[in-house]
A and B are shown apart, each in its own frame.
Chain A
Amino acid sequence: MSSRPDSRDGLRAEPSAELARELDRFGAVTARAEFRETLRHHFVGGAAERPRRAAQPPSQVPAAARRQSWRWRLVGGSLAAAAALLVYIALFTTAYGGLRVNGELVARRVGPAELQRRLASAETIRTGSQPVRVRLGDAVLIEMEAESELDLTRARLASQAGPLILEGKAGRFRVATGPAFAGTVGKLSFHAPFARIEVTGTVFGVDIEAAGTCVCCTQGSVVVNCPLGLWGPHEVGCDKSGLAGDGGFENLTRMDPEHERGLRRLQTYAW
């Protein structure tokens, strides 16, 4: 069919014998038997559908193709990992500085409204690195500083009658009674390691420290008793403070400025 003309017009029409030898060596290629058979089957048997190329052993897949494959796998894996991380952060990582309500960490997915609902019905609250404010209806507002722990006796509150007992285990607290306090709770008792504070409607603060329990009041008055009945009662009036410790109760001449600042701020709370 084709001819192999000799050199014409000064052009080299055929390679030299040496070059032809190298070209033949280069040109010796053989297809994989699997590929040949797969394609034959589809070509002769009807090429309506595109055949799938017979898979090659990994060692025969060219390095460039392997790199490409790994590149896509890497991209896909990274995207999947990023998505999983976002889901994990959204659903499982804690927010609110590691706040625990009834012993359980509050996750990031919990919104502020849901958080308030949980806090209002909580029996135990332990703050982490952030303070938290707990509002019990219009009756009581409690501010807990970071690293504070509080137990709330819910049974009495649920019946909307009788005293509410708050038991401060550690940390700093500020408590304000609200407009519904008299009609619902009526009486609030705050238990601290060295002091039992009875409240009938006021704004006061309790700071549990190594030296004792500091009680400050900026509105109304509170009565402080020894939990063991060893001393008391002592009244802490408006803008007064006292320290309950191992040696009994001591009226302080001057309210701690930091304690006072927190209480004044709480007084501005709009019910």
Chain B
Amino acid sequence: MDTPADPARAGGAPSDDAFQDLAPQERERLRARDPEALELFYLRYFDRVYGYVRRLLREEHLAEDVTQEIFMHIHRSLPSYDPGRDLRPWVFTIATNKIRDHWRSRGHRDGLRESAVEEGAGDSYAVSPHRGPTEILEANEVSDLVGRAIDGMPEIMRTTLVLRYFEGLSFAEIGRIVERNETAVRKRYSRALEELRKALGKVLDVGKG
């Protein structure tokens, strides 16, 4: 029933193909905190990092706070960065840890989600797949439904979805960031898509009709 997405899709999410990471010599200069390299890094990564944070935290002021924390952390950690390694996983590992810190500081609500992940009991999410048409209409915006569906997912599933779909990271890279093997990440991504499809099922059907 579903057709595969166009890999060269357009939209607000950054395309993996369009992204050009810093060259090795630029990374060397970045490690030395050369202002030009910092500027280049910022231009390349700001939108990606902010977008990643914003999609996971959704609220603008929280996203700004956490994005700021991430860039400050990156600046402090640059001397310990190995220029021989890809920059992107390193950046998103820092970003993911900061977001995770934020979620954990919000108390037990997200803690419950985490425990659900650890116990493999991630089938009961906040967004019911059995939404009625009225409820969907009341949601007003489909993107709000998407956001709520993502919010309702366990932490690791949310992270995987956003890193994979919006940031274009490979499953192996995501696995290193979320500290899971590639197969587990692939499963979570697949389940995340399935949950989204269920949550938006009627909307998607209407769109198709």
Residues of chain A having any CB pair with chain B under 8 Å: 1-6, 8-9, 11-32, 35-36, 39-40, 42-45, 47, 50-51, 53, 56, 60-62, 64-65
Contact = CB atoms under 8 A, between A and B. Distances in A.
Given A12-B194, A25-B143, A40 B46 contact: yes
Interface size class of B (residues with CB under 8 A): 35 or more
Contacts of A20: 5-6, 9
Contacts of A43: 38, 42, 71-72, 75
Interface in B151-209: 165-166, 168-171, 173, 183, 186-187, 189-190, 193-194, 196-197, 200, 203-204, 207-208
A128 to B, nearest CB: 55
A24 B208 contact: no
Contacts of A56: 60-61
A1 B86 contact: yes
Instruction: Say whether chain B's binding surface is mostly helix, strand, loop, or mixed.
Output: helix
A74 B76 CA distance: 38
A65 B60 CA distance: 10
Given A61-B61, A62-B61, A1 B170 contact: yes
Contacts of B76: 47
Contacts of A60: 60
Nearest to B9: A20
21 contacts: A1-B21, A1-B170, A2-B173, A8-B186, A12-B2, A14-B4, A16-B5, A17-B2, A19-B2, A19-B200, A20-B5, A22-B142, A25-B11, A27-B13, A30-B12, A31-B67, A36-B50, A42-B72, A44-B35, A56-B60, A62-B62
A3 to B, nearest CB: 6
Contacts of A47: 71-72, 75-76
A27 B204 contact: no
A31 B38 contact: no
Contacts of B189: 11, 13
